[in-house]
Structure formats: C-alpha cells, structure tokens
C-alpha cells in the first residue's frame, strides 16, 4: 500500500515555531503511522520574506509530490476556523496537479468547540477574584462566527469566571475588560487561543502600549498573559487528527 502524503498547512509566521511544529508532527505521526508528513506555510507575505526555517508553500509541495509520481494527497489545514485563509485553500486543492483532499481546520462544529473548551485549563487553579479570559483571533469572514461560538462554549464549560474577547473584532479588549469589571472580578489571566504565540501575543496582547495589557490596566484590571498557545496541547492535536481521519 502506498503511503499517503499529508501536507500540514498553517498560515505561517516569521517567528520561530519549530518546537510547536515538532510537537504537532509527532502527534500526527503517532496517530497515522502509514502517512508521510510535510509542512507548508500558505501566507504569501511569509513566503516572500522567508528564512531558512520557513517551510515551502503548499503549491510547491503538491507539485513536488506530483513530479515524484504521487497520485493523491491530503492537505490538512492548521487554521483555527473555516474563515478567509482556509477558503483560499479550496481552489488551490482543486487546481492541484494531483488528487488533493482538504481536511478541516480545528473548529468546524459545536463538538469541536466543546472538545477545545474542555482541553483548556480555564479558571481551574485561579483565585476567585481572577477571571480566565480566552483571547481569540476574530475574523470578519462569515466563518469567523466559529470564534464566537468557541468563546461562548468556553463560558458554558467553565462558568461565570470565564470570559472571551477578539484580538480583531468585538468584543475587543475594552469590552472584555468592562465585562470582567462589571462581573466583580479584579484581576485576569489571558489565554491566547492561537497555535503559537507570535506577533499577536507580543504586541497586541502583552505589549506595553496599545494592547490588551494596557487596556486592562486602564480599566483597573491587572492582567497576566499565559505565554503558550494551544499548539502543544495533545487534546487540541486530537481534534485535528479526527478531521484528518475523516479526510483519508
């Protein structure tokens, strides 16, 4: 039986993501020993300014596989929701030089949101005066509604001590801080709902100015920021694996 090539496709970043990529790839390999795995970064901006550690584009890998005589492949999206960047992969797969299936991103259903919420620590271990805040990317694309469903599910699973907000969109930092203060909490711990903690974390969330940190501080809510994304959480990896299993 021919081994199935699977292209693990992320949006991409110029930050060092090797540790998270190695963890995810090992998780996939453990669950799918009969597949060969390749990495791709889809963002044109990242490909234009790539460094030696930057994976190739999905188009490059698909062409390479076709040149090697492969007839089928699966492109596993490592996006969080089926928003704009995921939808760009659909015509890419249709035009590929070999039969290419597209596997769903992390959140594609209510069940995915619940599994992801249960994978988070939430307010477990926090003081009673401290809010647990899920910071989601947000998107104006219709598929971005899954970000809101994820946030609401996080609250349903973890209760009144749990809150959520969008890095891009509403509720933003100001609205989230106001909701926390209105609910009677005096502190917050923010958990980034991203696979890796890159620029959005260092600038938009934890930055000293024009950030969630500064906005929360101005609202009288001192905030700590969890330094890790969700990319090294085995339960998050399991959700991706469930989608890949359906695509194979």
**In terms of domains, do 160 and 197 share one?**
yes
Res. 53 pLDDT band, cuts 50 70 90:
confident
Cis peptide before 208 (omega within 30 of 0): no
Asked, for residue 166, whether it belongs to a domain, the answer is yes
* Domain contains 113: no
Looking at the structure, tell me whether residues 75 and 144 fall in a common domain. no
Look at residue 32 and tell me if it is in a domain: yes
Q: In this model, does residue 44 exceed pLDDT 90?
A: no
Confidence of residue 15 (pLDDT cuts 50, 70, 90): low
Q: Which two tokens stand for residue 66?
A: 């076709």
Secondary structure letter of residue 2 according to DSSP: P
The reply to whether 46 falls in a domain is yes
pLDDT digits (tens, 9 = 90+) for 109-132: 999 999 999 999 889 999 999 999
Q: Is 98 part of a structural domain of the chain? A: yes
2 phi/psi in degrees, rounded to 5:
-70, 140
For residue 6, how many other CB atoms are within 10 A of its CB?
Answer: 23
> Is the domain of 147 the same as that of 208?
yes
Domain range for 32? 4-107+232-247
Average pLDDT of the residues in 28-55: 86
Q: What is the pLDDT of residues 157-195, one digit of tens each?
A: 999 999 999 999 999 999 999 999 999 999 999 999 999
Quote helix, strand, coil % in the chain, to nearest 5: 45, 20, 40
Distance, in Å, from the CA atom of 106 to the CA atom of 233, rounded to the nearest integer, reads 12
d(CA 160, CA 157): 9
Does some domain include residue 115?
no
pTM: 0.94
* Number of domains composing the chain: 2
pLDDT tier for residue 46 given thresholds of 50, 70 and 90: low
Q: What integer is the mean pLDDT of 139-152?
A: 96
Rounded CA Rg of the chain: 19
The answer to whether 230 and 236 are in contact (CB under 8 A) is: yes
My answer on whether 136 and 102 are in the same domain is: no
Question: Which residues are 189's β-sheet partners?
Answer: 132, 224
Residue owning tokens 């015509």: 91
| pLDDT, position 12 | 74
How high is the pLDDT of residue 14?
64
**Three-state secondary structure call for residue 198:** coil
Q: Are residues 237 and 221 in the same domain?
A: no
- The residue assigned the tokens 């035009």 is 95
99 shares its domain with 8: yes
What is the band of 1 on the pLDDT scale with cuts at 50, 70, 90?
A: very low
Residue 63 falls inside a structural domain: yes
CATH code of the domain containing 68: 3.40.50.1400
- Comparison of pLDDT for 45 and 26, the residue scoring more: 26
Residue 114 maps to a domain: no
Classify 235 as helix, strand or coil. Answer: helix
Q: Render pLDDT for 188-222 as a digit per residue (tens, 0 to 9).
A: 999 999 999 888 888 999 999 999 999 999 999 99
Please give the distance of CA 16 from its chain centroid, rounded to a whole number.
16
């Amino acid at each position: 039986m021919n081994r199935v090539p699977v292209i693990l496709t992320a949006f991409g970043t110029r930050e060092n993501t090797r540790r998270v990529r190695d963890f995810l790839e090992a998780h996939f390999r453990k669950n799918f020993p009969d597949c060969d795995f390749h990495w791709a970064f889809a963002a044109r901006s990242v490909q234009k300014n790539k460094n030696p550690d930057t994976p190739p584009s999905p188009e490059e890998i698909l062409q390479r596989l076709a040149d090697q005589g492969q007839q089928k492949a699966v492109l596993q999206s490592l996006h969080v929701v089926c928003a704009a960047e995921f939808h760009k992969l659909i015509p890419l797969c249709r035009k590929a030089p070999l039969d290419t299936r597209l596997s769903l991103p992390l959140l594609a259903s209510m069940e995915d949101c619940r599994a992801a919420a249960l994978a988070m620590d939430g307010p477990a271990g926090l003081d009673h005066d401290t809010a647990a805040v899920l910071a989601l990317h947000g998107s104006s694309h219709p598929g971005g509604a899954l970000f809101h469903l994820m946030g609401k599910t996080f609250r349903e699973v973890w209760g009144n001590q749990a809150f959520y907000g969008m890095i891009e969109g509403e509720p933003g930092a100001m609205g989230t801080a106001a909701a926390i203060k209105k609910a009677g909490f005096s502190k917050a711990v923010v958990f980034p709902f991203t696979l890796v903690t890159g620029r959005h974390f260092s600038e938009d969330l934890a930055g000293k100015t024009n950030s969630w940190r500064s906005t929360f501080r101005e609202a009288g809510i001192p905030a700590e920021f969890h330094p890790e994304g969700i990319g090294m959480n085995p339960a998050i990896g399991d959700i991706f694996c469930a989608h890949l299993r359906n695509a194979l």
